[in-house]
Structure 1
Amino acid sequence: MGRPHRIGIVGLGFISTVYLETLSKAPDAVITAVADLDAARAAAVAQTLPSARALSVAELLAQDDVDVVLNLTIPAAHAEIALAAISHGKDVYGEKPLAASFDDASRIIAEASAAGVRVGCAPDTVLGTGVQTARAVMDAGEIGRPLAATAVMVTPGHERWHPNPDFYYQPGGGPLLDMGPYYVTALVQLLGPVVSVIGAASRLRPERVIGSGPRAGQRFAVAVDSHVTGVLEHASGALSTLTTSFDGVATKAPNIEVHGEAASLIVPDPNLFDGDVLQHPLDGEGWDAVPPRAGIVGAARGVGLLDMMREDAPRASGDMGLHVLEIMTGLLESARSGARVALSTTVERPALVPLG
């Protein structure tokens, strides 16, 4: 009682710097160990954290002073690290997606339940003022009965800026499994769980060219669909239309729109924590900005882990991660088969995050 939550971090790539900044400021958290396939990188990070030491992955998982493992490895390694941490009796919070396959993700949740440990999963961007304010407007009944939503993510691909983008185009990656979790999690937060999906997909280029860094100009193979679209049927009866693409150049479409009987909402980029929520009432003359009503002000990646450590019912939960992954893998399965796919999982909408 009263002891800070002791965190061990596995994977010290690009995204870890934001997590480190968030967690190092939390009074009830302490980073006790870090590990990476690059031992020199782990040693360098440990030098910036007086409470942490650099270890191998196996050593970190066995430490008594690690209560929760923060899994920031590439998607293909998510399940392996999570399952190993669970076998050592550790709680786990991982980057999205929960695993590269639905079967692996289901095993994570099942083994965590059997071991009596907890699992959390990014994205936690939905806990910021952007999505949470839109959720508060909807919960207050201001758009009436929600009928439909659209979500659009179009970019020319991460290889233009990432020096080692290969994993984005391997199983567990692609525009849907990489960027889709932000959009799908937001849709579930706003409209509730999904019962079935219909999808279509394409892969327009067999290879990509790295655009920056020491490997600039190198080509690598594309092993996943690079444009995925589909329809999500929510248990409430609302329908969401989703498009995720690494094949386009740009879009002027709002990231997310939600349409109700009494009003429509524009929801800000779910890859960010904040942003303007715009509301257009049925008899209104235009879009009006909604001041923040809910969510964590000034949030950054890592708040989902802090929420998991502090709350009995974590909002960025493993159950949410599993349901979101089944939605996405269901879309890919439907794209392959041409048939509607019914889902086996569901999840409760997490509690609204109070403004603060």
Structure 2
Amino acid sequence: MKKVGIGIIGCGNISSAYLKAMASFPILDIRGIADLNSDLAAARATEFKVPARDIAQLLADPDIEIIVNLTVPKAHVPVALQALDAGKHTYSEKPLGIAFAEGKKLAEAAQARNLRIGAAPDTFLGGSHQTARQLIDQGVIGHPVGGTATFMCPGHERWHPNPDFYYEVGGGPMLDMGPYYITDLVNLFGPVAQVAGFAITPRTHRTITSQPRNGDEIPVHVPTHVAGMMAFVNGAVVQIGMSFDVAGHKHVPLEIYGTEGTLIVPDPNNFGGEVELLKKGGSFEVQETIQPYADGNYRSIGVADMAHAIRSDRPHRANGNLALHVLEVMEAFQTASATGRTITITTVTKRPDALSGSLVDGRLAR
């Protein structure tokens, strides 16, 4: 299968994971990387032995078909629109945008140009999450009833060298970590119908404790503790808690409840981990992970799936409709909190197709 040319814009922390993982997928041909900080791009280019180029060169290169957009959240939509204007498909780091309105603008622009958009997270394609999905699809837990989704920590200023953007518009625990959890829940249950919730900001400033800015104070412009409920189209109801204000907790990342059993689904920020199943009247047992991509960090598998989809003329899984739906759901928690209403979700997305084969050798046909 002919390789798909890739140009990467944004050479921050996450770019290293993408560049490492892309080497696992022969269909991806990295034609260059770029960043507004040319020194950063040059350093990544040297580290991964790929060309450093400027953004205009990437956009003008006829051999590049997909622009992988790894910029900060507030730049996701502007950079993606540039890529579309240059005739490129585009795949962005999460979230798709910092507001539903701009995400919708991006989706409409892609449709008008007959180009594809996609977005992280692609961790739901990992073997553990696909194994959990298969168990649900086989009816092992009976009719889906609900679940819980929990991410809680003291805040990213503990470890990130420049954590400011986590506390700007487009950041916060819901838009930063929520995409992993909500996308995986759509993978397991299908789309969301309604959202209710509360969002609070306990602190107006945070103190960085990581290097090299230990001791610096940064302002907080977004809610940092969000709690709510999601009612899915299939009837399931899931409680969600996302926080940068919790010292510690004992909740597992995802619990899925059915009339005949319960599933423990591992951290949706990872591709692997143990899936546990409790059948009614029994006890939890670790399930064999029977799907590929559970043994490493395959961050960029969504790009590889998009590349195969372009060549095979089929839908890609981490697609724009899915990402826009998740963005609307995440924004709905803030709207619900501000208005005291239950919010009806307007976007429609299909549950992405299951992934049960290899994207390495091209044998995955559909």
Please state if 1:3 is matched with 2:2: yes
SS of the residue 2:202 aligns to? coil
SS of the residue 1:149 aligns to? strand
Contact 2:273 2:294 in 1 (8 A): no
Distance 2:2 2:273 in 1: 35
SS of the residue 2:268 aligns to? coil
Moved more, 196-205 or 289-298: 289-298
Contact 2:27 2:307 in 1 (8 A): no
SS of the residue 1:15 aligns to? helix
TM-score by length of 1: 0.96
Please state if 1:94 is matched with 2:92: yes
Shift in Å, 1:318: 1.1
Deviations 1:175-232 (A, max 9, x none): 0000000000111111110111001011011101111112111001000000011111
Shift in Å, 1:48: 4.1
Contact 1:136 1:294 in 2 (8 A): no
Please state if 1:65 is matched with 2:67: no
Give the counterpart letter for 2:6 in structure 1.
Answer: I
Q: Which residue of 147, 151, 156 maps to 1:149?
A: 147
Shift in Å, 1:27: 1.7
Question: What is aligned with 2:32?
Answer: 33
Question: What is aligned with 2:129?
Answer: 131
Please state if 1:350 is matched with 2:352: yes
SS of the residue 2:135 aligns to? helix
Give the counterpart letter for 1:189 in structure 2.
Answer: N
Shift in Å, 1:57: 2.0
Distance 2:48 2:215 in 1: 36
Distance 2:231 2:124 in 1: 20
Distance 1:295 1:319 in 2: 25
Distance 1:249 1:353 in 2: 36
Distance 2:292 2:196 in 1: 32
Distance 1:91 1:40 in 2: 26
How does 1:1-356 map onto structure 2 within 5 Å? 2-50=1-49, 52-284=50-282, 286-299=283-296, 300-311=298-309, 312-354=314-356
Question: What is aligned with 2:363?
Answer: none
Distance 2:82 2:187 in 1: 30
Deviations 1:292-324 (A, max 9, x none): 133424351011100111121211111110000
Tell me, which stretches of 5 or more residues in structure 1 are unaligned? none
Contact 1:296 1:354 in 2 (8 A): no
Distance 1:3 1:44 in 2: 29
Moved more, 93-102 or 62-71: 62-71
Moved more, 162-171 or 342-351: 342-351
Contact 1:323 1:345 in 2 (8 A): yes
Give the counterpart letter for 2:45 in structure 1.
Answer: A
Runs of 4+ in 1 over 4 A off after TM superposition: none
Contact 2:9 2:70 in 1 (8 A): yes
The count of corresponding residues between Structure 1 and Structure 2 is: 353
Distance 1:249 1:147 in 2: 30
Give the counterpart letter for 2:293 in structure 1.
Answer: I
Distance 1:174 1:274 in 2: 25
Contact 1:170 1:222 in 2 (8 A): yes
SS of the residue 1:280 aligns to? strand
Distance 1:100 1:56 in 2: 25
Q: State, as a whole percentage, how many aligned pairs show the same letter.
A: 41
Distance 2:252 2:18 in 1: 28
Give the counterpart letter for 1:290 in structure 2.
Answer: Q
Shift in Å, 1:26: 2.4
Deviations 1:224-264 (A, max 9, x none): 00001111110111101110000001111111101100001
Give the counterpart letter for 1:79 in structure 2.
Answer: V
Moved more, 100-109 or 292-301: 292-301
Shift in Å, 1:6: 0.7
Distance 1:226 1:87 in 2: 35
Contact 1:198 1:232 in 2 (8 A): yes
Distance 1:25 1:130 in 2: 18
Contact 1:24 1:31 in 2 (8 A): no
Distance 2:228 2:60 in 1: 43
Give the counterpart letter for 1:331 in structure 2.
Answer: F
Contact 1:144 1:261 in 2 (8 A): yes
Contact 1:163 1:211 in 2 (8 A): no
Deviations 1:36-80 (A, max 9, x none): 121111122223455x43222233222222211000000000000
Distance 1:76 1:161 in 2: 21
